[in-house]
Structure 1
Amino acid sequence: MKKVSFAEFGGPDVLQLIDAEEPAAGPGQIRIAVRAAGVNPVDWRLREGQVLGAHPLELPAGVGLDAAGVVDQVGDGVEDVEVGDSVFGEGAGTYAEFAVLTAWARMPSGLTFEEAAGYPSVVETALRVIDEVGVLAGQTLLVSGASGGVGSAVLQIARERGITVIGTAGAANQDYLRSLGARTTTYGEGWVERVRQLGSVDAALDLAGSGVIRELVELTGDPQRVVSIADLDAPKFGVRFSGVAGSVPAALAEAAALISQGKLRIPVEKSYTLAEAAAAHIDSQAGHSRGRRVIVV
């Protein structure tokens, strides 16, 4: 099969499209014929060799954690899916023609493989950090870097839970954030005061890693009310860094339910081929996205 791999840590140029042996599903796992794979910031962070507290890598390594596709192999002990079922989920080395998943859910009807591939890690992360930051119904959550995949999910899940959201993003994404129910402002000079004008902040999430931890602590008044998924220096300010949690079936089930109920939708901003994986990483690292980037196999 074809898969994207890298033999050394580094920039996007270390990614190579290679011929590799097909993986096999072990006990409690399934293998899918991949139709699309999600592109996540964790993919390029791991490629760079960043230590994120999960997914230790041995080189050479594959790339990608999220995928959607058709089940073609079922491991021992798996009873909830059969060969031929369409699923989305989390595994390893998903930028490939075949991948093994360790957590999955059936794809909601009406969702394309391309769309489904953008949900797994994004929704798991969104659900996790909303719970970790401890924000409750009736309170206000500030989301820095709100227009990307995780931000898109956070805004919609928070709205469903009765949480008010203030989101920061670039000028081009203001209308998009408002469409998801957020109060919005741009980042850049004076952004802290602009946030204050939108309301008091009970908790905050840093999703972009743009060096705003000090300001988020200032706005919430308590470093324990701030969580970052993108700034490795967050602990220096007493702020929790929430890395990669791994496969969480319950999060996928909740995502499927929200999608089916029409309460969650994350648009696909751009698609790439396997051969364009380096370009996908370059674009992901540049930020300013609206929704998700995916690789179509």
Structure 2
Amino acid sequence: MYYAVRQHVFGSPQTLVYEEVDPPSPGPGEVRLAVTAAGVHLMDTVLRAGRETGMALPRLPMTPGREAAGLVDAVGAGVDASWLGARVVAYLGHERSGGYATHAVAFADALHRVPDGVDDATAVTMIGTGRTVVGVLEQAALSAGDVVVVTAAAGGMGTLLVQAARQAGARVVGLAGGRLKTGAVLEQGADGAVDYALAGWERRLGAALRGEPATVVFDGVGGSLGRGAAESLGPGGKHLYYGWASDEGHFTTFTEAELEKYGITSHMVVGPSLFALPGGVRRLEETALARAAEGLFRPLVQSFPLSRAAKAHLALESRATVGKVVLRPETDSRP
């Protein structure tokens, strides 16, 4: 039996329907995976709702999911048969998707063998979220002298950025919403955690920074929250932005006059700047998987059964999740 989460119309999480489907067949240069873990992104929820973001909306009906890990159980023409039975992870791509399923098709040249000691949920975290974190860190060039503020610090990217900043010897303060999330930030090694769901959080951020200005702000929230975090920077500080998870739905930006006034720089560290890094995204994926194998990246993962994809989307949209959200087909009981 083959199952997938299908979307026939744009709208609420309830538009995601768990259905029995025909078995997918790999074409030339492709393989089929028996999926064990599929990554879920906030962007998945945006596309599901049909909101325009500059990214092309998917053609419906479709199966979401751009990241999948699992076992290769079929290969297409021209694919080395040695892939059969391999435990792999792959970024399926924005246009292809299909990861929210018991079986998914991937290009063979997108596959990575999962390193020993790395579980499938960690592997699927590394292939999308992890690779972005590696690229952001390379552009940040952190040092032991840095004072770092991480927004959305209890999220999939945020937890890894906190870990990496501490490993670089930097002092780190994480921003997150709610006591559960600030507790998770501290568990990742942050020197301080501030709840920005409470009024006056900017003052508490200043106290957590011990009166020192931040030198680097990682901004995955955007909007006024991202702006408030960026205003903790001192002259020469770097505002590195990569997301807009706030309800305002836009990046934090500064005018040239503001940048000159504050003496800071502000750069978007995803998109073209990420893809232009040496070795491309495949090298970033390899690096993220290697860091996980070495124990340097230890992602927090919140799992949902595949059949509860709508619940996962609702939880992610309502900011009720901690760490990376992953769907697990094997946790479903199917007829």
CA distance in 1, matches of 2:221, 2:25: 35
Give the deviation of 1:50 after TM superposition: 3.0
Does structure 1 residue 136 correspond to structure 2 residue 145?
Answer: no
Gaps of 5+ in 2: 256-265, 330-335
Give the deviation of 1:214 after TM superposition: 2.2
One-letter amino acid matched to 1:140: V
Gaps of 5+ in 1: none
Moved more, 176-185 or 93-102: 176-185
Which of the residues 124, 135, 156 maps onto 2:131? 124
> TM-score scaled to structure 2, two decimals?
0.77
Give the deviation of 1:5 after TM superposition: 1.5
Structure-to-structure mapping, 1:2-17, within 5 angstroms? 2-17=3-18
Is the CA contact 2:222–2:252 (under 8 Å) kept in the aligned structure 1?
no
Deviations 1:62-82 (A, max 9, x none): 111122100123456666961
One-letter amino acid matched to 1:234: F
Does structure 1 residue 195 correspond to structure 2 residue 205?
Answer: yes
Structure-to-structure mapping, 1:236-247, within 5 angstroms? 237=254, 240=268, 242=270
Aligned to 2:20: 19
CA distance in 1, matches of 2:289, 2:31: 18
Aligned to 1:279: 311
If asked which structure has higher relative contact order (CA below 8 Å, sep 6+), I would say: 1
**Alignment CA distance shift 1:97-1:163 (3 Å):** same
**Alignment CA distance shift 1:225-1:110 (3 Å):** same
CA distance in 1, matches of 2:215, 2:314: 34
Which of the residues 282, 294, 304 maps onto 1:249? 282
**Alignment CA distance shift 1:136-1:250 (3 Å):** same
Aligned to 1:172: 180
Aligned to 1:145: 152
Is the CA contact 2:127–2:285 (under 8 Å) kept in the aligned structure 1?
yes
Give the deviation of 1:29 after TM superposition: 4.1
Is the CA contact 1:135–1:141 (under 8 Å) kept in the aligned structure 2?
no
Aligned to 1:93: 98
Who wins on radius of gyration, i.e. which is larger?
2
Is the CA contact 2:227–2:252 (under 8 Å) kept in the aligned structure 1?
no
**Alignment CA distance shift 1:53-1:64 (3 Å):** same
Give the deviation of 1:236 after TM superposition: 5.3
Structure-to-structure mapping, 1:53-92, within 5 angstroms? 53-54=54-55, 56-75=57-76, 82-91=83-92, 92=97
Aligned to 1:264: 297
CA distance in 1, matches of 2:200, 2:298: 31
Work out the number of aligned pairs and report it: 295
Percent identity between the two aligned chains: 30
**Alignment CA distance shift 1:285-1:22 (3 Å):** same
CA distance in 2, matches of 1:207, 1:149: 11
Deviations 1:194-247 (A, max 9, x none): 222313212222334574132133222689723041254226545638469799
> TM-score scaled to structure 1, two decimals?
0.85
User: Helix, strand or coil for the counterpart of 2:214?
Assistant: coil
Give the deviation of 1:263 after TM superposition: 1.2
One-letter amino acid matched to 2:301: V
User: Helix, strand or coil for the counterpart of 2:133?
Assistant: helix
One-letter amino acid matched to 1:186: D
CA distance in 2, matches of 1:117, 1:234: 26
CA distance in 1, matches of 2:125, 2:25: 24
Is the CA contact 2:219–2:239 (under 8 Å) kept in the aligned structure 1?
no
